Chains A and B, each alone.
Chain A
Amino acid sequence: MVKHLGEWCRRTVRRGLSMAIFGVLVSVLLGACATAPISAPTGNADSNADSNSADATAAVDTSVSAYADWDAVLAAADGATVNWFMWGGSDVINTHVDLRVGAPLLADYNITLNRVPIENTADAVNRVLNEKAAGREQGGAIDLIWINGENFHTLKQADLLYGPFTELLPNSALVDWEDPAVAFDFGVAVDGYESPWASFQFVMEYNADAVGDAPPQTWEDLRAWILANPGRFTYPAPPNHVGSAFVRQLFYWAAGDVTPFLGPFDEALYAEVAPQVWAYLNEIKPALWREGQTYPELAVMADLLANGEIDFAMEYDAARASNYINQGLYPPTIRTYVFTTGTVANVSYVAIPFNAANPAAAMVVANYLLSPDYQATMSRPDELGWMVAIDPARLSAEEQAVLEAVAQGPATLAPQTLRDAALPELAAEWVAIMNADWEENVLTAP
């Protein structure tokens, strides 16, 4: 009897303990799930006027309306750390950001800039989305994202951006917001949810040693050159942003005009133009590098040009060729050109996620990026060599002189040449459809 009782006790205790372990596991799991409620679909992009400022007020109010003026922003930013998520694939950009942005911010504003390198801006977008899904309304990991185009569209659409904040920035007055190329990011209205950093333009890069001094500046000449020189030309496969821009410009060429593309997606126009584009690309396909059986990644294409495996490359950055020549990555015979029908240009922005831990400090960074001094420094060929995002006409005579004194790199076209050739970008929905159809009609075509 007593023995049985002991056995019973032992079993009960053991069973109880197992139950307890199981219970702890379950409750921890449930707890993890409870803090991650699947939120209802957020409002559409149209309701973005001031909706962000209302919520997210649990501990400290960091919404835009909480700051009376710029001084209040500066006060809140003092001593803060800004986690800036940005594509980290370029040593030049990384060093520049650390030395020309991070160092002065720490010295002048007591803000620590923590540059977080990512491989793809979509990684940061995913992270913000995941934080939203996990119910993290404040204290998010990201304070600032280098962003534009589709990624901006995605975050703005899901109402996951902080703002509108650009009106608070004193240097925002130097930006020409009347210019549709600035006020619309790939067809999406900026509406104060992102602040410009630099502007970019698509250029073709070529080896003058192989191609000569007169590169094929029309799309017809380019096709003729490719067919006459098989294996010496290629382009990165869309959805890579450069390959995608290359294909996009063929649409402009085939339609003979840019303006019809600037509105929302137009089925009839697309159906008329697209077959011409696919025909062009399929015609040159057998004469491409590797007979068009594969397409290089962007960085690989630069290597191929540098190694003489191909004679052309392309980049959505008019200064890259000069930078690469200076670094010894490109032979000195590389030059750039734009098509007579123009090349696309766009602006790179910085945006702040809805749940940024330090939005005030992030705004100070955004404002600093627009300062005339910084913009002039950035545009120097020994720094980034990017084109300025501010309107030179809005600067003082002195500041304009500084900007004009910036020398051009050996392969970079004159600013005026680039400006004259600049074509606007089109809405993200066009881009997505073109990318998908390129895969179907060119990449996977037999």
Chain B
Amino acid sequence: MKGSHSPRAALLRALRSPYWWLAPAVLLLLILFVGGLGVGFAQSLNYFPLIGLNSPSLRAYTAILTDRGFWAALGLTLYIALTSTVAATALALGTAVALRANHRLNRWLTFIYQIPLPVPHLVAAAGIAMLLTQSGLAARVLYATGALERPDQFPALIFDRAHVGVILAYTWKEVPFIGLVILAVLKGVGQEYEEIAQTLGASAWQRFRYVLLPLLVPGIVATTVIVFAFLFGSFEIPLLLGQRYPGTLPVAAWRAYIDPDLARRPEAMAMGMIVTVIVVALLAVYRRLVRRAW
């Protein structure tokens, strides 16, 4: 028998097992994510002994689900996340295909294209606000050039019902993120498939639709999933640029969380739980749909 079968060698092999490398990450995930989710879930069930809530109940959930404000907030959150994701994906696809050729000019353009990536969302929000409020830069320029009689004739794009400013800020931030992934896939794919299709008589649209797009779909799906989940759950930009009521779900959860009245904490946590469940469910449905279609 070989030495490799001895217990000692097995031990050594087990120690070299790649699973060990996962341990720190798994630990962190378990403690921070599962632990945090657990505490949040307990509080959402009205279990918060620190302020005397000792008997779990579904009070917070029923209160939220029967409030018409919740459904308005849910609709708004879905609308913002969907619109921004679709707009950003379409723009990213177009720009990435345009930027794929390895010219010198394109290298410069790609660099400029990536600038929004490291800009924090809060800074993006501040920039959009300075540009687009009714006393912002755009309104002032139009007023100075005589295009507007009064600066406040500028359309309300910030704090508005349609949340145009929020969607613009998100789109600006997410286009390069999705675009970079698509660019990377494009570089890997190369031009050969399209050239073959061309020799077989495919038009430019057909080459894009039947050759390029199917190759890109896995990358697009992965990034849109990330972007959608992020946009659905983040609250800073809607808080800064959105209308006061109805606000998005994460903003409503945040407002309930910072309320000095601790009795509102279960509501905040319940909203957080609902956001989590909705995101997970929507993404599962989306992935299934995409897998079936392609």
Contacts and interface: CB of A to CB of B under 8 A. Distances in A.
11 contacts: A3-B1, A9-B6, A13-B7, A13-B11, A17-B11, A25-B27, A38-B50, A126-B257, A154-B261, A294-B243, A303-B133
B31 A29 contact: yes
For A10, A32, A42, A133, which residue has the most chain B Cβ atoms within 10 angstroms? A10
Contact of A125 (B1, B14, B135, B260): B260
Interface string B10-36: 110011010110010011001100010
For A3, A7, A239, which residue has the most chain B Cβ atoms within 10 angstroms? A239
B259 interface: yes
B83 to A, nearest CB: 19
A41 B51 contact: yes
Interface in A260-306: 290, 293-297, 303-304
A133 B50 contact: yes
B258 A13 contact: no
B195 interface: no
A158 B23 contact: no
A29 B161 CA distance: 46
Interface in B152-170: 152, 156, 159-161
A297 B10 CA distance: 64
Interface size on A, as a range, is: 35 or more
A211 interface: no
Nearest to B14: A17
Interface string A23-51: 01100110010000011111000000000
Nearest to B22: A21
Going nearest first, the 6 A-B pairs with the smallest beta carbon separation are: A6-B5, A307-B135, A150-B260, A10-B10, A41-B52, A294-B243
Nearest to A11: B10
Contact of B258 (A14, A123, A428): A123
B50 A294 contact: no
A32 B27 CA distance: 11
Query: DSSP majority for the A interface?
Result: helix
A150 B261 contact: yes
Nearest to B42: A38
B59 interface: no
B260 A309 contact: no
Contacts of A40: 49
Contacts of B160: 294
Contact of A7 (B5, B26, B134): B5
B50 A41 contact: yes
Query: DSSP majority for the B interface?
Result: helix
B244 interface: yes
B243 A293 contact: yes
Interface of B: 1, 5-7, 10-11, 14-15, 17, 19-20, 23, 26-27, 30-31, 35, 49-52, 54, 69, 133-135, 151-152, 156, 159-161, 240, 243-246, 255, 257-262
A308 B135 contact: yes
A54 interface: no
Contacts of A132: 50
Contact of B10 (A13, A24, A428): A13
A41 B135 contact: no
Interface of A: 2-3, 6-7, 9-10, 12-14, 17, 21, 24-25, 28-29, 32, 38-42, 120, 122-123, 125-126, 129, 132-133, 149-151, 153-154, 158, 231, 237, 239, 290, 293-297, 303-304, 307-309, 428, 432, 439, 443-444
Given A3-B5, A10-B7, A13-B11, A25 B26 contact: yes
B1 A29 contact: no
Given A13-B14, A41-B51, A307-B135, A6 B6 contact: yes
A122 B244 contact: no
Given A25-B30, A154-B260, A294-B245, A309 B49 contact: no
B142 to A, nearest CB: 15
A294 B27 contact: no
A33 to B, nearest CB: 8
A122 B259 contact: yes
For B133, B244, B246, which residue has the most chain A Cβ atoms within 10 angstroms? B244
Contacts of A309: 133-135, 151-152
Contacts of B151: 308-309
A111 B36 CA distance: 36
A40 B49 CA distance: 6
Nearest to B7: A9
Contact of B35 (A17, A32, A123, A295): A32
Nearest to B134: A309
